[in-house]
Every structure is written in C-alpha cells, then in structure tokens.
Chains A and B, each alone.
Chain A
Amino acid sequence: SAVISQKPSRDICQRGTSLTIQCQVDSQVTMMFWYRQQPGQSLTLIATANQGSEATYESGFVIDKFPISRPNLTFSTLTVSNMSPEDSSIYLCSIPRTSYASGELFFGEGSRLTVL
C-alpha cells in the first residue's frame, strides 16, 4: 500500500488567515485528489490535482479559495485561503489505489483545521 504523509495533522487558525496543507506520496502518481470532510459530515471532493496542469475544481469550490500546487508526481499542496469558521474541516489527500477506473483510493491521515 502507498504511504501518504500529510502536514499539518491538525491546526488551529485565526479567521482571515490562510493555511497550506502538504501531501507527500511515496510513489509517483499522475492524479491526486483533495477531499473535505466537514464536522459530522461525509467527504466531498474539492479538486483533482494533475501534475503539469491546473487543478480541476468541483462545483462549489474555486481556485481563489483553495489554490492547489502540484510541482511533481509525488507532492501536492492545498491552501485554504482567508479562512472562516465554516472552513473548519478535515482535509484529506488521496491517490488511486489500483487503476484509475476502479475509483479505489488511498487516503492520507487528514489535516484537521479549526478556525476560530
């Protein structure tokens, strides 16, 4: 199985600030996926991070709020900008587990953000 390291594992942030979450994978992958899990809720895909191109954002998520970098095939960052308490969530990085078509994913341990 793949090893996915996320940093930070948790943080407490002030309203109006921005925080960058890092995701490091121990193997090269073309696509990486960023999910959000709001308190007591299920997971929602924020965007797909492709190496060498702009991230593809899902409906309701925009680049200005969640800029993503993908400088190489093993690393990605997600920034949560101008945070408000509504951004308090667990943010999870994931990669394909087998073939892309199966949709099976490996997940990182998540980054739990609390915005005051």
Chain B
Amino acid sequence: SQQGEEDPQALSIQEGENATMNCSYKTSINNLQWYRQNSGRGLVHLILIRSNEREKHSGRLRVTLDTSKKSSSLLITASRAADTASYFCATGGGTSYGKLTFGQGTILTVHP
C-alpha cells in the first residue's frame, strides 16, 4: 500500500457518475496532496489538505482527511471522460521539502 495505499487500484465508471478514491498512510503528516497523471506523463497537482483540515473543495473535487484513521478520500463529482487518468495521493513536505511519498495510485476510467 501507499504510504499510503490507494483503494481501489482501478475504477471504471460512466460519465456523470461520481468517483471516490481512498488513500491510507502510515506516519504523521503535515499535509496530504492528490495528483493526477494522464497516460504515463507528468503529474499535475490537484489539491492539498493540511493536517488540521478535515475537508476541502476545489471545483468538482472534494477531499477529506481523517488523521485519526490516517486516511483520505478524493471525490470527483459529475465525472467526465477527460477525468480518465491515474490519481495518486502523496505525503511529505515540511522539512522533507520535495521528498514526497506517493501511493500506488488509482486508475480511473470514465466511459462516455
């Protein structure tokens, strides 16, 4: 599992449906981030949630964080075919600067 493990490993849905991906981690964190990767290309930063936050929204994205359970979820509402990608959670920052520990990722396929 990812320092985090991501769950599910793969998710296939229809356009318009919501997609929920989960991430668990093992150590205490400063923040948790979510990234998207299209077709094995570069990663794009989606959203960051700090350890003292429980929920955060950005457009169609909603992220939750439960530090007591060491877990986070990413919800994409009203999914589109263009959301098809791999999604990774990542922990790090603070004195670790650019050293992020990524999860194994969830492959999301949105069918038109």
Contacts and interface: CB of A to CB of B under 8 A. Distances in A.
B100 interface: yes
A101 B31 CA distance: 10
Contacts of B96: 103
A94 B88 contact: no
Contact of A42 (B41, B88, B95, B99): B88
A27 to B, nearest CB: 15
Contacts of B42: 4, 92, 107-110
Contacts of A44: 102
Contact of A104 (B2, B41, B45, B94): B45
B104 A42 contact: yes
Given A42-B103, A48-B99, A103 B30 contact: yes
Contacts of B61: none
Of listed A33, A97, A102, residue having the most chain B CB within 10 A: A102
Q: How large is the interface on A (under 10, 10 to 19, 20 to 34, 35 or more residues)?
A: 20 to 34
Contact of B98 (A4, A33, A109, A110): A33
A90 B99 CA distance: 17
For the residues of B in contact with A, the DSSP-based class is mixed
Contact of A103 (B2, B98, B104): B98
Nearest to A49: B98
Contacts of A37: 40
B7 to A, nearest CB: 14
Interface of B: 2, 30-31, 33, 35, 40-45, 48, 88, 90, 92-100, 102-105
19 contacts: A31-B97, A42-B103, A42-B104, A43-B43, A43-B100, A48-B98, A58-B99, A95-B98, A97-B45, A100-B98, A102-B31, A103-B30, A103-B93, A104-B48, A105-B45, A105-B98, A106-B45, A107-B42, A110-B41
